[in-house]
Amino acid sequence: MNIFFSGIGGVGIGPLAEIAHDAGYKVAGSDRSTSLMTDNLMALGIEIHIGDQDGQFLQTYHDKQPVDWLIYTAALPANHPELVLAKKLGIKIAKRDELLAHIISEKKLQLIAVAGTHGKTTTTGMLIWTLQQLGVPLSYSIGTTISFGPSGKFDPASRFFVYECDEFDRNFLHFHPYLSLITSIDYDHPDTYPTDEEYLEAFSQFARQSNQVFAWDDQHAEVFYDQNQVSLIEPIQLNENIKVGGQHNRRNATLVQIALKRLDINQDTTDILSRFPGTDRRFERLADNLYSDYGHHPAEIAATLQMAREQSDHIVLIYQPHQNVRQHELRDKYTDQFELAEDVYWLPTYLSREDPKLAILQPKDLIKNITNKSSVHIADFNDELWNVIQKARSEGKLVLGMGAGAIDSWLRTKLSQEN
């Protein structure tokens, strides 16, 4: 099968291209600019066009060796030239999850899916790390970069495929897992699920499509009413002997241990999980007293601040909300989650995939219900904010940049300019 990936350098598409290549499929693709991902894929011998995605490269490539599938992301507009051309040429068009489900089925792998509003990336990373340390052959895909392997891998000797199974765009409903872990359920993605009820029903359907499910009893247990394949884990089962930062991460690690026992892997993995090196953008240390985190939901903010307080009594939070459409749902949920930070610097919302009919909410609109409002300062990406960060670091305070938008790249750029 010959597969063309439009936007092959993306964090979701790139690992899938590597998996398809490793699994023996013919792979090529295009992207507007080079990246570490495109460099890595080119080093594998994958043909990639960099520059204008006007369809000319796809046409030339298809003429030489007909393309069977074109894979694209939700970010691609319907009138994208490569999509339009693929339809004209009769090429099968699919999003990444449909292809991955096909590969898992064709290679007869048992899918271990990690789903949930929060914690799925870290939990997936923990599962990959632990199985690697145990010497278990493994295929996997995770939605971030990790220090202990590529983001996507296919091992022909593997029995399992570990996958971070995202609910956005109803992606996780393409799968019928052998075993599913559900870390948490907390209403999100209003652009996909207009109501809380629709969001919960999607998780219920995902559970029904799974052969076996493990979920926490205190996370919307009613979603799994009368589903015999769901095992609800009581909070008392939490393994506090796993020495990872943050109560939420100890919960994630406990789920991993329970899943491994279900897979007949009975070694004690407490020490292995305690050595888990973490994943990028999840409370990632950038420099002394400076951390970056992907969190952009009130529950994630509270959990990450709790983890930060295990390291320091003095936390300065730089927060960038993510997506205006999300903020219309979250504006009344920002309340007491920030109380563990002695100062909060609130940035304008990062805009992406927005509804043009919605008014852009300003920081003052979002902070009105925060219980420690006197500690909140409206800020922007400028030298004044960087000076605040540097002063806090010099005083021994832990500075945490949080958000899924530009905050991480801004912090890294400012650090590189200092060095």
pLDDT tens per residue, the chain (419 residues)?
999 999 998 878 999 999 999 999 999 999 998 887 899 899 999 999 999 999 999 999 999 999 999 999 877 888 999 999 999 999 999 999 999 999 999 999 999 999 999 999 999 999 999 999 999 999 999 988 888 998 899 999 999 999 999 998 899 999 999 999 999 999 999 889 999 999 999 999 999 999 999 999 988 888 998 899 999 999 899 999 999 988 999 999 999 999 999 999 999 999 999 999 988 888 999 999 999 999 999 999 999 999 999 999 999 999 999 999 999 999 999 999 999 999 999 999 999 878 889 999 999 999 999 999 999 999 999 999 999 999 999 999 999 999 999 999 999 999 999 87
Q: Do 146 and 261 sit in the same domain of this protein?
A: yes
Strand, helix or coil at 349? coil
Which residue in 151, 206, 199 sits closest to 175, CA to CA? Answer: 206
Q: What are the contacts of 259-266 at 24+ separation with CB within 8 A?
A: 259/112, 259/127, 259/179, 259/181, 259/214, 260/130, 260/131, 262/179, 262/212, 262/214, 263/112, 263/160, 263/179, 265/131, 265/134, 265/136
In this structure, what token pair is assigned to residue 132? Answer: 């690697």
- CATH classification at residue 320: 3.90.190.20
pTM: 0.82
pLDDT at 352: 85
Same domain, 288 and 270: no
Same domain, 53 and 175: no
Compute the distance between CA of residue 122 and CA of residue 114 in angstroms, rounded to an integer.
10
In this structure, the strands spanning 47-50 and 110-115 are unpaired
35 and 134 belong to one structural domain: no
DSSP code for 227: -
Q: Is residue 227 domain-shared with residue 372, that is, in the same domain?
A: no
CB 98 within 8 A of CB 72: no
Distance, CA of 363 to CA of 271 (rounded, Å) = 43
Q: What is the CATH number of the domain that holds 53?
A: 3.40.50.720
> What kind and span of H or E run contains 316?
strand 315-319
Q: Which residue has the tokens 């991955």?
A: 100
Residue with tokens 């291209």: 17
- DSSP conformational letter for 62: H
| Distance from chain centroid for Cα 79 | 27
Regarding whether 124 and 248 lie in a shared domain, the answer is yes
Task: Return d(Cα 369, Cα 178) in angstroms, integer.
Answer: 43
Using the 3D structure, point to which of 274, 301, 325 is the last residue of a domain: 274
Identify whether residues 311 and 252 lie together within a single domain.
no
In a domain, 219, yes or no: yes
Q: Are residues 198 and 302 in the same domain?
A: no
CA-CA distance, 304 to 249, in Å (whole number)? 10
Of 216, 242, 274, the residue that ends a domain is 274
Based on the fold, state whether residues 259 and 332 are members of the same structural domain.
no
Q: Quick one: 260 and 117 in the same domain?
A: yes
Residue 104 placed within a domain? no
Is 268 a domain residue? yes
Domain boundary among 43, 63, 95: 95
pLDDT of residue 76: 84
- Is residue 121 domain-resident? yes
Measured CA to CA, the distance from residue 296 to residue 317 in angstroms comes to 12
Residue 224: both structure tokens together: 């799994």
Assess contact for 403 and 350: CB atoms under 8 A.
Answer: yes
DSSP output for 71-138? EE-TTS-TT-HHHHHHHHHT-EEEEHHHHHHHHHHHTTPEEEEEE-SSSHHHHHHHHHHHHHHTT--E
- Tell me if 102 is assigned to some domain: no
Q: How many domains does the chain have?
A: 3
- Domain assignment present for residue 279? The answer is no
Asked if residue 79 is part of any domain, the answer here is yes
The gap between the terminal CA atoms of the chain, to the nearest Å, is 48
Which residues constitute the domain of residue 38?
2-95
Q: Which residues pair with 291 in a beta bridge?
A: 285, 400
Rounded (5°) CA angle 135-184-10: 65
How would you classify the pairing of strands 284-287 and 290-293? antiparallel
Cβ atoms 75, 132 nearer than 8 A = no
267 and 293 housed in the same domain:
no
How far apart (Å, rounded) are the C-alpha atoms in residues 27 and 394? 49
CA distances from 361 to 93, 111, 350, 364 (A): 36, 40, 11, 8
Establish if 402 belongs to a structural domain. yes
Is the same domain home to 262 and 324? Answer: no
d(CA 55, CA 83): 8
